[in-house]
């Protein structure tokens, strides 16, 4: 399977270099409908006005963490509560993975990541939603 080039992606990452890297990786595989947010709060505001097919979010961010964003999205009664969410983090602690799973995370990517990992996880999540 390949990724539909028309999907809309929200990248949520407080580190500008990593956000830019993720954007470049996705652009290099032919994806162009990409919006960036520097924290969960900005992402939440983007969700209010844009449609996204998938969210890639960091775990640790100021204002609203990726986990808080995940919880807020899943608890919302809105049209975006079932958007697939991939958590990208430097932590591979099992308790974090379990906590994210309890809130219906679709996938988990541990930094550092490869282009192949990002693309395959997006393909996997979009073809097997919760």
Mean pLDDT of the chain: 90
Q: Where are the domains of the chain?
A: 8-127
In CATH, 8-127 is 3.40.50.300: no
Close Cβ partners of 16 (under 8 Å, ≥ 6 residues apart): 38
103, 69 in Cβ contact below 8 A? no
Determine the Cα–Cα distance for residues 54 and 56; give it in Å rounded to an integer. Answer: 7
Model confidence over 59-113: pLDDT tens digits?
999 999 999 999 999 998 777 889 999 999 887 677 777 777 788 899 989 888 8
């Amino acid at each position: 399977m390949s990724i539909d080039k028309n999907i809309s992606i929200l990248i949520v990452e407080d580190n500008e270099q990593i956000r830019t890297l993720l954007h470049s990786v996705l652009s290099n595989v032919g994806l162009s409908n990409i919006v960036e947010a520097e924290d969960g709060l900005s992402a939440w505001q983007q969700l209010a006005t844009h449609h996204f097919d998938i969210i890639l979010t960091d775990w640790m961010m100021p204002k609203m963490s990726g986990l808080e964003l995940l919880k807020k999205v899943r608890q919302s009664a809105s049209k975006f509560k079932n958007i697939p969410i991939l958590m990208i983090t430097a932590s591979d602690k099992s308790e974090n993975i379990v906590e994210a799973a309890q809130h219906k995370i679709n996938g988990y990517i541990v930094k550092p990541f490869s282009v192949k990992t990002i693309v395959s996880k997006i393909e996997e999540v979009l073809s097997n939603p919760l």
